[in-house]
Amino acid sequence: MNFSASQIALIINGEIEGDANATVSSFGKIEEAKNGQLAFLANPKYEEYLYTTGASVIIINDALELRQRVDATLIRVPDAYSAFAALLSKYQEMVTQQLNGIQQPCYIAKTASYGKNVFVGAFAYLGEDVRVGNNTKIFPNSFIGDNVKIGDNTIVHPGVKIYKDCVIGDQVIIHAGAVIGSDGFGFAPQPDGSFKKVPQMGNVVIENDVEIGANTTIDRATIGSTIIRAGAKLDNLIQIAHNVEVGHSTVIAAQAGVSGSTKIGKGAMIGGQAGIVGHLQIGDGAKINAQSGVTKSVEPGKAVTGSPAHDYTAALRSQALNRNLPELEKRVKELEALVKQLMEERV
């Protein structure tokens, strides 16, 4: 698809400098872009490429003052990064909306139903009493179990598995290989040392505007629901255990794990490979640094790091002291030598 600078400016509310009829058909990084591509400049470190790039149209910040002539058409906006992200989202939406209909072969139970402009890819499976909303896209090789509810404008990418009774909201994106609603890790110790499986009877509820990364797993609750609140963003390869609750607009980076029944507040930020033990309370706006091991509840707004995790500011002070240990050792040895000399002179 081709777009003119004037069309792009209209979408992102930008001001054009240059040829409003300049057209682009694809996107490119500003340091590599070629004629016919759209690029953006948000980081000042890349400004030098603004004057050498082959891009036909470039989105830049309002505040940027040009140091020399630019051949490309410029579109000025308050925040180039946000504008470019919005444009990519719009483009992706346009491409996705072109997908309609039911590909064959696939299986859709007679009791399943779906709304308008739905796409179901080849080899997908929709079980009994499944409900799929308007404009939702289910890509090939996906499994949608019995009694699953999926809202409007949701995208289920290839190979996603959604077990029975789970509820998926509107504008949700679930990336390839994610598993929603597998059994929680519940086993009761027996007198003979063995473990007896505890049936997992609950489900998973994913609210609106959530994004779930590839190969992430979210376990169903033992009783009740594992809940991912509206606006939460989960990266790839994350494990969310049974009865966990992830708060509104919380973000979790790749390879993090959250153990059973832990409650995470809204607006929290959890770094990659962090591990959180079960039955904790992670407060609103809390920040957990990458590779932290969280063994105690975290107060709202507090930042923690390390394993076991502790106050972030205190950890920085400890690191500073550790860096100074060689110098401190040297000074201690000098003081010991001085004390020894003084003692010998006194004798």
Q: Does residue 199 lie within any of the structural domains?
A: yes
Q: Clarify whether residues 289 and 149 are in a common domain.
A: yes
Q: Does residue 327 lie within any of the structural domains?
A: no
Range of the domain at 65: 3-97
Question: Which of 64, 97, 130 delimits the end of a domain?
Answer: 97
Q: Does residue 338 lie within any of the structural domains?
A: no
- CATH code (residue 82): 3.40.1390.10
Q: Does residue 279 lie within any of the structural domains?
A: yes
Give the pLDDT confidence score for residue 332 in this predicted structure: 87
Q: Clarify whether residues 206 and 280 are in a common domain.
A: yes
Q: Clarify whether residues 188 and 246 are in a common domain.
A: yes
CB 256 within 8 A of CB 274: yes
Identify the CA nearest to 235 among candidates 221, 217, 259. Answer: 217
Q: Clarify whether residues 152 and 71 are in a common domain.
A: no
Please tell me the distance from the alpha carbon of residue 338 to that of residue 335, in angstroms, as a whole number.
Answer: 5
Distance from the first to the final alpha carbon of the chain: 94
DSSP 264-309: E-TT-EE-TT-EE-SS-EE-TT-EE-TT-EE-S-B-TT-EEETTTT
Q: Clarify whether residues 165 and 284 are in a common domain.
A: yes
Catalytic pick from 242, 248, 279, 310? 242
Please tell me the distance from the alpha carbon of residue 147 to that of residue 327, in angstroms, as a whole number.
Answer: 66
Q: Does residue 302 lie within any of the structural domains?
A: yes
pLDDT tens column, 251-292: 999 999 999 999 999 999 999 999 999 999 999 999 999 999
Q: Are strands 73-77 and 15-17 parallel, antiparallel or unpaired?
A: antiparallel
Q: Clarify whether residues 193 and 74 are in a common domain.
A: no
Q: Clarify whether residues 82 and 162 are in a common domain.
A: no
Give the pLDDT confidence score for residue 341 in this predicted structure: 84
Q: Clarify whether residues 92 and 127 are in a common domain.
A: no
What tokens does 46 get? 């890349």
Q: Clarify whether residues 203 and 294 are in a common domain.
A: yes
The amino acid sitting at 195 is F
Q: Which residues of the chain have pLDDT under 50?
A: none
Q: Clarify whether residues 170 and 262 are in a common domain.
A: yes
Give the pLDDT confidence score for residue 218 in this predicted structure: 98
Q: Clarify whether residues 126 and 53 are in a common domain.
A: no
pTM: 0.84
Give the pLDDT confidence score for residue 320 in this predicted structure: 74
Number of folded domains in the chain? 2
Give the pLDDT confidence score for residue 1 in this predicted structure: 76
CB 188 within 8 A of CB 198: yes
Distances (CA, A) of 86 to 8, 47, 228, 233: 11, 21, 24, 17
Taking the CA atoms of 99, 104, 106 and 107 in sequence, report the sign of the dihedral they define.
Answer: positive
Q: Clarify whether residues 91 and 176 are in a common domain.
A: no
Identify the CA nearest to 131 among candidates 116, 119, 113, 152. Answer: 113
Question: Which of 97, 131, 164 delimits the end of a domain?
Answer: 97
E-state strands within 103-235: 107-108, 113-114, 119-120, 125-126, 131-132, 137-138, 143-144, 149-150, 155-156, 161-162, 167-168, 173-174, 179-182, 187-189, 195-197, 203-206, 211-212, 217-219, 225-228, 233-234
Give the pLDDT confidence score for residue 340 in this predicted structure: 83
- Write out the H or E segment, with its range, that includes residue 239: strand 239-240
Q: Does residue 126 lie within any of the structural domains?
A: yes
Residue positions counted in the chain: 347
**Orientation of helix 80-97 relative to helix 5-12, angle to 10°:** 110
Question: Which of 72, 97, 122 delimits the end of a domain?
Answer: 97
Query: Is 279 part of the annotated catalytic residue set?
Result: no
Q: Does residue 343 lie within any of the structural domains?
A: no
Identify the CA nearest to 264 among candidates 306, 232, 222, 304. Answer: 232
Q: What is the DSSP letter of 50?
A: G
- CATH code (residue 262): 2.160.10.10
Give the pLDDT confidence score for residue 321 in this predicted structure: 72
Q: Does residue 329 lie within any of the structural domains?
A: no
